[in-house]
Every structure is written in structure tokens, then in C-alpha cells.
Amino acid sequence: MQLVNGASYGMLLFLVAVGLSLILGLMGYVNMAHGAFVALGGYVGLAIAKSTGSFWLAILVGALVAGLVCAVLERVLLFRFKTHLTQVLGTFGIILIIIDATLIAWGGVPETMRMPAGLGQFVTILDARLPVYRLVLIVVGVLAFVALWWFQERTRYGAVVRAGLDDPQMVEAIGINVGLVSRIVFVCGACLAGAAGVLGGPIIGVNPLVPWDFLLLSMVVIVIGGLGSIRGAFAAALIVGVTDNVGRALVPQLAYFTLFGPMALLLVFRPSGLFGRR
């Protein structure tokens, strides 16, 4: 049961962390505001689900709104932050603004989104009763990983992203607009984060603290998996999700140690991460 809970949470982490990993790898941009798009998508999705009764429409609208806000911020404000210090401080300020905006619009009381009809049941596998919704989350995460991996490894546009990760100057020299590719990755990452905020609504709820939790754990995923690696983000998200869930269940007093201890050891012996390149 704990493994399934951890794996489903890991898939939510993957949806958030993979965009942030590619943004850091492709643009070298430290976007602390990425976690805010999780909360924004969650709150927008919650409003749509309440007004229309459609959970699937809530996912779509939550993802689109998060992507739209990200696109506007990138064009108006984020491109002005040139150094890593200004990026950290500037995007940290943006996450506070977005959280305050959600507090004004929806209040600070944590809310739980209603699960879609038919997904709130349990199934018995090997004498264990497992929640259907968490199993669906695992399937969604795996499908998202396969789709992203196929795009990056098997398509022409994915080759541009890989080349941009390795040598952006050379890609610019042959006439490819790396800036445009970076902006597309930026917005797509925000859309995935917004969708994760809605998908996580039925199990972790929607509240103003969500951005901080996801941002911190997403950074751990990037460190463990390796910068700009979709495979690394997927493997590390599973590791972090399961470790965090099992650690909190078995040894809650040492939950943070069980999560950050292995990460510290990995930084010592493999600083580039499991699948990262030097």
C-alpha cells in the first residue's frame, strides 16, 4: 500500500520536476516560481470542477491557465532576470505574489477535490486493497514519461531540445531559434505543473503550502536524476516519492533524513546525478 501511495506521489513529482529540469538544463534558468503553477492550476481546476462538475475539464483548464500565466510572465518579467541571483530572488517574489493572489481569490482554507466518478473505488491485488485513483495516477505518469521520452529522443523537435541542452551556441549558429524553443519548454513545463496541481487535488488537496512542498522535492528530484534528463526525472521522482512516503510511515522522526541523506551521498559520489552528464 505504501509503495503504491509513494509511486503515485512520485508521478505527480515527475510532472512538476521534468519541466523544471529541462528549463534549468536548456535555459540555465533558476525558476523558483515553478511550484506556484502547481497551486495556480489546482485552484483554477477546483473552481472549474465545482462549477461544471467535470474533473477532466478542470485538468485541461488548470494546465492551460498555468501555461498562459507563465507565458505572460516570461515575456513581461522573467526575461529581465539575467543572473542566477536575480532569477532566484525575482522568481521567489513571483511565487509569493501568486500565492497571495490565490489567497485573495479562494481563501486559505485547504480543500480537497472530488475524485471522478468510478475512480474512488478500491481493487484487491495480491490480498492488498489499493485505491483505483492512485493506480490511475501511476498510469498517467508512466504515459507522460513515455510521451516525453519519445518526443525528445525520436522527433526532430526533440533533437533540437537535446542539442540545445548540449551546445546552445552551435544550435544558434545553424539558424535555430533556441530562445523560442526555450520559451516553449518553459510554457509546457508550467502546463504540466498546472495539470499536476489538479491531479493531486483529490489526494493531497489544494492549499497555499503546495508550491513549497513541490518546489523543494522537485529540486531533490533534479539533483538525484540529473539536469535535463527525462529518464533521470522519472527514476528520481519514483525514488523520492516512495522514500518520502515510506519514511513518513515507518520513521516519521527521521523522514527528512531518509530523503535528504541519500541525496547528500549521491552529490558526493555522483554530482551529475543518476542520468545527468558532466
For residue range 75-94, what is the model confidence (pLDDT) as tens digits? 888 878 888 888 889 888 99
d(CA 30, CA 208): 21
pLDDT, position 142: 94
Name residue 122's beta-bridge partners.
131
Band the pLDDT of 1: cuts 50, 70, 90.
low
Q: Are the C-beta atoms of 111 and 44 separated by less than 8 Å?
A: no
State residue 167 phi and psi, 5-degree precision: -150, 80
Band the pLDDT of 271: cuts 50, 70, 90.
confident
Count of Cβ atoms closer than 10 Å to residue 49 Cβ: 23
Once rounded to an integer, what is the mean pLDDT over residues 196-200?
93
pLDDT digits (tens, 9 = 90+) for 249-258: 777 777 777 7
Whether pTM > 0.95 for this model: the answer is no
Band the pLDDT of 165: cuts 50, 70, 90.
low
pLDDT, position 277: 60
Once rounded to an integer, what is the mean pLDDT over residues 10-33?
85
d(CA 80, CA 265): 36
Band the pLDDT of 129: cuts 50, 70, 90.
confident
Band the pLDDT of 42: cuts 50, 70, 90.
very high
Q: Position 265: which residue type?
A: L
pLDDT, position 276: 67
d(CA 193, CA 208): 15
d(CA 241, CA 13): 7
Average pLDDT, rounded, for the chain? 84
pLDDT, position 19: 86
pLDDT, position 141: 92
State residue 267 phi and psi, 5-degree precision: -65, -30
pLDDT, position 197: 92
Top-confidence residue, 159 or 43 = 43
Once rounded to an integer, what is the mean pLDDT over residues 21-36?
81
Secondary structure class of 128 (helix, strand, coil): strand
Band the pLDDT of 174: cuts 50, 70, 90.
confident
pLDDT, position 14: 93
pLDDT, position 59: 94
Task: Name the residue among 28, 20, 23 with its Cα closest to residue 169.
Answer: 28
State residue 166 phi and psi, 5-degree precision: -85, -50
Band the pLDDT of 106: cuts 50, 70, 90.
confident
d(CA 7, CA 142): 10
